[in-house]
Amino acid sequence: MTVKSPCVDICKFDDKTGLCIGCLRTRDECKTWKKMKDKHRRKILDDRPRRASKLKR
């Protein structure tokens, strides 16, 4: 695994967005992170600013 997990050990999921308030991933993304290809991981990490803006609404 070359793209490191963004997990910060908070693991609380927002009810409206379904995103973890710590790492901004969905439950499915958290569960399947180790099996994902790096291309998919980078896409998730690159999308973090958009996801963060969803939580602030």
The dihedral of CA 11, 30, 8, 19: what is its sign?
Answer: negative
Domain membership of residue 2 (yes or no) is no
Give the span between the Cα atoms of 9 and 27, in whole angstroms. Answer: 13
Identify the pLDDT of residue 16. Answer: 95
Domain membership of residue 33 (yes or no) is yes
Domain membership of residue 5 (yes or no) is no
pLDDT top residue among 43 and 2: 43
Domain membership of residue 35 (yes or no) is yes
Domain membership of residue 43 (yes or no) is yes
Domain membership of residue 42 (yes or no) is yes
* pLDDT tens per residue across span 14-53: 999 999 999 999 999 999 999 999 999 999 999 999 999 9
Is the pLDDT reported for residue 1 higher than 60?
Answer: no
Domain membership of residue 3 (yes or no) is no
Overall number of domains in the chain: 1
Domain membership of residue 36 (yes or no) is yes
Identify the pLDDT of residue 41. Answer: 98
- With tokens 């803006």, the residue in question is 53
Is the pLDDT reported for residue 57 higher than 80?
Answer: no
* Residue-range definition of the domain harbouring residue 43: 11-57
